[in-house]
């Protein structure tokens, strides 16, 4: 059993990731922290509370975090996730209320309580994590590490950006926060676009039809979440669920240890996660700081999605 804290900006794929996390006996989710990203902080926090009710989960705190990046303005992704942030899915007003602790306070409290027993799973911009590191730098050594959905590392043919030719949204939205996290020394496993946009790891139109035909409340909710993306793009990238799956079963992914720098000053390169793979100039090489995912057992990953997200345990 792994104890995890999930930092999220729900978001369609965040919702799928939470369905996976709370249907997996390998994980004990100690709490959710919310961050501005796909949608505003308030809307993301509301969606987190709604999703816990939908899942019948009680006693898991939801602590709201940053309503904007460290230095920049918010640039949401409502064009992808819809005005509610949950695509075409609708959920009733939540019974639960936000925790009175803020995200940074909650992260640091859980780190102090669980130590190496805690894994941070980040599936949104890294603003809250950067805030925790700035508030208590020792936190990087207290916990077991951080598994993120984030980055585009150029390590596979799919390793280019989504929000720009070179940048992945979670890093791009708050590049200063991402730089703090990547440079901090915290053990990082990064599930980037290199693998999440590989067609072998995406939900296809055929799979979607299978989900629609299932007819259960849960499967219908998943279909409502994804339908607009299937219509528009012919498939759905399971970015955030893959990060959660990598914690549930690390054997699903293979990684390459690489040295990553985050671009914070570029105009066209804002949020680029630059990998230095030079084998010469060794004295110039930055120390490798990230286990970047380069391949996925796609069949087992998609089986896990159907078993635990669509059908539920």
- Name which position in 9, 30, 198, 263 contacts ligand RIB (CB under 6 A): 9
Residues with active-site annotation: 239
- Name which position in 24, 33, 34, 38 contacts ligand RIB (CB under 6 A): 38
- Shortest gap between Cβ of 288 and Ca ion (angstroms)? 26
| Binding of residue 198 to ligand RIB (CB under 6 A) | no
Q: Are 115 and 207 in contact (CB under 8 A)?
A: no
- Name which position in 7, 14, 194, 263 contacts Ca ion (CB under 5 A): 14
In the window 63-82, what residues touch ligand RIB (CB under 6 A)?
A: 77
- Shortest gap between Cβ of 124 and ligand RIB (angstroms)? 5
What does 162 interact with, of ligand RIB, Ca ion, none (CB < 5 to 8 A by kind)?
A: ligand RIB
Convert 77-86 to b/e letters by CB count within 10 Å (16 or more is b).
Answer: beebbbebbb
The residue assigned the tokens 């700081």 is 289
| Cα 51 from Cα 36, distance rounded (Å) | 17
Q: Of the listed pieces 5-13, 56-64, 176-184, 295-303, which binds ligand RIB according to CB under 6 A?
A: 5-13
In the window 231-250, what residues touch ligand RIB (CB under 6 A)?
A: 239-240
- Shortest gap between Cβ of 168 and ligand RIB (angstroms)? 5
Number of residues that bind ligand RIB (CB under 6 A): 16
- Name which position in 30, 168, 174, 198 contacts ligand RIB (CB under 6 A): 168
| Cα 234 from Cα 10, distance rounded (Å) | 21
Residue 227 burial by Cβ neighbours in a 10 Å radius (0-12, 13-18, 19+): middle
Q: Which is nearer to ligand RIB, 68 or 101 (CB)?
A: 68
Residue 47 burial by Cβ neighbours in a 10 Å radius (0-12, 13-18, 19+): buried
- Name which position in 46, 123, 147, 253 contacts Ca ion (CB under 5 A): 123
What does 236 interact with, of Ca ion, ligand RIB, none (CB < 5 to 8 A by kind)?
A: none
Binding site for ligand RIB (CB under 6 A): 9, 11, 13-14, 37-38, 77, 123-124, 149, 162, 168-170, 239-240
Binding site for Ca ion (CB under 5 A): 9, 11, 14, 123-124, 240
């Amino acid at each position: 059993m792994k104890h995890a804290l999930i930092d999220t900006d729900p978001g369609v794929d965040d919702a799928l990731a939470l369905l996976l996390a709370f249907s997996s006996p390998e994980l004990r989710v100690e709490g959710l922290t919310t961050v501005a990203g796909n949608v505003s902080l308030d809307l993301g926090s509301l969606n987190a509370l709604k999703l816990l009710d939908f899942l019948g989960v009680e006693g898991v705190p939801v602590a709201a975090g940053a309503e904007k990046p460290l230095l920049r303005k918010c640039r949401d992704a409502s064009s992808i996730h819809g005005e509610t942030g949950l695509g075409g899915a609708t959920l009733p007003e939540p019974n639960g209320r936000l925790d009175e602790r803020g995200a940074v306070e909650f992260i640091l409290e859980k780190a102090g309580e669980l130590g190496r027993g805690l894994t941070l799973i980040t599936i949104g911009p890294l603003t809250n994590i950067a805030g925790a590191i700035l508030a208590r730098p020792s936190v990087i050594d207290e916990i077991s590490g951080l598994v993120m959905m984030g980055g585009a590392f150029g390590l596979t043919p799919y390793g280019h950006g989504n929000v720009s030719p070179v940048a992945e949204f979670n890093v791009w939205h708050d590049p200063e926060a991402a730089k703090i996290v990547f440079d901090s020394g915290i053990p990082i496993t990064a599930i980037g676009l290199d693998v999440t946009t590989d067609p072998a790891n995406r939900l296809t139109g055929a799979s979607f039809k299978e989900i629609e035909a299932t007819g259960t409340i849960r499967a219908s909710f998943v279909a409502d979440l994804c339908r607009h993306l299937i219509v528009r793009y012919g498939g759905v990238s399971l970015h955030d669920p893959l990060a959660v799956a990598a914690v549930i079963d690390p054997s699903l992914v293979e990684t390459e240890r690489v040295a990553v720098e985050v671009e914070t000053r570029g105009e066209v390169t804002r949020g680029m996660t630059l990998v230095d793979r030079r084998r010469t100039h060794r004295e110039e090489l930055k120390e490798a700081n990230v286990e970047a995912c380069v391949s996925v057992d796609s069949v087992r990953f998609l089986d896990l999605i159907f078993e635990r997200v669509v059908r539920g345990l």
